[in-house]
Amino acid sequence: MIFKQISIRLVIWYMKNYLVVGGSSGIGKAISEQLAQQGHHVIVLSKTAASSVQTENIEYHNCDITEDLPAFPDAIESLDGIIYCPGTINLRPFKALKQSEFLHDLQVNYLGAIKTIQRYIPQLLLGSDPNIILFSTVATKKGMPFHTSIAGAKGAVEGLTISLAAEYAPKVRVNAIAPSLTQTPLSDKLLNSEAKILAAGERHPLKRVGQTSDIVNAALYLLNASWVTGQIMPVDGGMQAM
């Protein structure tokens, strides 16, 4: 009986509360499922949350992050981490891009993160080793044609990352992951044939495109890396460095 009580206490102590924005598909979904499998409580915010099947340890909420006042759930007492996953891939020549497209990329990638963090920073400050994970792109450091809009928006995300890390140290850790092309629903148009996948892989030193598991592993590392903050972690098959 005593051992059973100790076991229950250890489970309760270990379980953490994570908020995953954009967690009903792609990388966000994979991160949410992995955290839930580890026994953590995951709150998922997504425009398509209504179509998601409620599963053990995952709580889905409809929330459109591009709205001026997103429908953030109120009943969250404390958080141990925020993982902000929404992103865009809008690759077009600079002269063809409209101002509305630049604004949309900023809204999804940067301003949505700001709205989320401002809303839940009080709850995050109550967490255990609380941290924030944002997402950038290899294109902010490695110039690529047709990436002006997304690289600009993600550049803002990188500035936000290191600024928040400085402002909230030592209580809250803030880091970002900067992937190269990864096989997710978001990149389907770029990787919708075997020929495209092989060609894209050849542009990387490791000769393949990224997989969801590559990004999930990086996110799980950062969630537990208690001496890492203010970092932009490349997960890009060597693209940025070589």
CB of 99 closer than 8 Å to CB of 83: no
Any bridge partners for residue 41, and if so which?
A: 17
Q: Which domains does the chain have, with CATH numbers?
A: 16-235 (3.40.50.720)
**What is the β-pairing status of strands 41-46 and 81-84?**
unpaired
Structure tokens at 230: 């203010």
Ramachandran class of 123: left when φ > 0, alpha when ψ lies in -120 to 50, beta otherwise? alpha
Centre a 10 Å sphere on the Cβ of residue 94 and count the other Cβ atoms it contains: 10
The pTM of this model reads 0.92
Q: What is the pLDDT of residues 62-76, one digit of tens each?
A: 999 999 999 999 989
Q: Decide: 74 and 80 in contact? Cβ < 8 Å.
A: no
In this prediction, residue 12 carries a pLDDT of 44
pLDDT digits (tens, 9 = 90+) for 10-55: 444 479 999 999 988 999 999 999 999 999 999 999 998 655 566 7
Q: Where are the alpha helices (H) located in 40-175, listed in sequence order? A: 99-106, 112-124, 148-168
